[in-house]
Structure formats: C-alpha cells, structure tokens
Structure 1
Amino acid sequence: MATYSADAITIAGVTPTSRTAASGDKLTPADNAFIRVTNGGGSPMTVTFAVPGNNEDGEANPDPVRTITNGTTKCVRVNRRWADPADGLIALTWSSTTSVTFTYERV
C-alpha cells in the first residue's frame, strides 16, 4: 500500500510524478486535485474511489467508478468527501494495473 500527496502545479510549472497503479493505492485529500490516469493496456479498465459509510438516508455511499479506454489518458477530479474518516485517505481500486500509470496533481 502506498499513500500519495498531490503535486502542486505552480506558476513556474511542475513535472508531476508518474506512478504505477497498484493494489492499495491511497491519496491524501487536497483542494482542486485530480488524477491523470494513462491506460497503456489492451482493453478498457476502471478506477473506483471507495467511499465508506452511509449518506443521510442511511444508504451506502456510492463508489464513483471511472472508465479509462485502452490506449488513452483521462483526468478525474478527486473529491475530498471520498476520504475514509478512519484514516483520512481516499482509497483507489483498479480493475487492472497492467500498463496503468497515474499522476496526482492539484492547482
């Protein structure tokens, strides 16, 4: 398991750190943050943001799922509300990690 903080995009610019998708990836919440996922694999894959707990109606919070088509890159805005109150982190679940990389950035 690895925990990542968002790279800040500044006026001077930044080269975001590219990471290889792996089981147990977690993100430290940040304002105006997003992940940039590149799927170099041969078929579409998904990244799921595991949102624990229940909403005000007592129903399980939905887990946002985003599909990244094979051979493409997609940016996904990350919401602070997706953090687990137990550890304060946002958990990612990848349907595939083969040839999948991502950056975590904030503006």
Structure 2
Amino acid sequence: MPTLNPQVVSLGGLTPTYGAAVANTKIPCGERTFLHVKNTAGSPMTVTLTATGQVRGSVVADTQVTVPATSGEKLIGPITADLFAGAVDGLCAVTYSSTTSVTAAALRI
C-alpha cells in the first residue's frame, strides 16, 4: 500500500501537487494533517478512513466522506493518531470507492 506524504503549507504559500488516487493508500497521522480529494468523474465516490480508535472501550466507526461528481472536492481531517493510527505502522489507511478521475493530496498546515 503506497504512502501519501503530506505537503506542508507555509507562509510563502503552497501550490499542492495532486496525484491519481490509488484504491488503497496510507497517510501519516497528525493533528494538522488533511486529505484533499477532487472528483471529476460523472458519479459521486466515497473516501473511507479506517478508524482504529476507541472511546470508553467502544470502537470508533470508520469515517466515510462522499465526494460529489463532476467538480466535487472535499477537504477531510484532521487525520489524528488517536482515531486513525494503525497498530503496526501508525499510518491511517484510506480507501476510495472509485479512482477513475479522482486525484488527492495530503496536506499539513
């Protein structure tokens, strides 16, 4: 599973680089880490962040975000370790219901 490393937003500005979404990917967790997804396909698609956290012993549900069709964009986050860090690698697992005409960038502010 590839890792999408966050691009750091600075005072000088950032022009994010977007790459084609990969069905299964991982993102480093962080209080200031976000995932920006763009969908230019003719159908909406869903991004799922796999939750690993617990609240009072109950497992937290995965986060699912629907990105609208055609010119849809969603900024998702923050992707915090307490909710999303995998036990083995500390990374957040991300899946896309479709990757056709979908691009993504991890951002850290």
Give the TM-score taking structure 1 as reference length: 0.88
Counterpart amino acid of 1:26?
K
Cα deviation code 1:40-61 (max 9, x no counterpart): 111111000011365433x432
Flag as ranges the 4+ runs of structure 1 deviating above 4 A.
none
How many residues are matched?
106
Structure 1 partner of 2:35? 35
Structure 1 residue runs without a partner (length 5+): none
Say whether the 8 Å CA contact 2:4–2:105 is kept in structure 1.
no
Whole-angstrom CA distance in 2 between matches of 1:5 and 1:94: 17
Cα deviation code 1:12-61 (max 9, x no counterpart): 1122221111122100112312111101111111000011365433x432
> Aligned-residue CA RMSD in angstroms?
1.5
Identical aligned pairs, as a percentage? 34
Structure 2 residue runs without a partner (length 5+): none
Whole-angstrom CA distance in 2 between matches of 1:53 and 1:6: 21
Whole-angstrom CA distance in 1 between matches of 2:105 and 2:3: 12
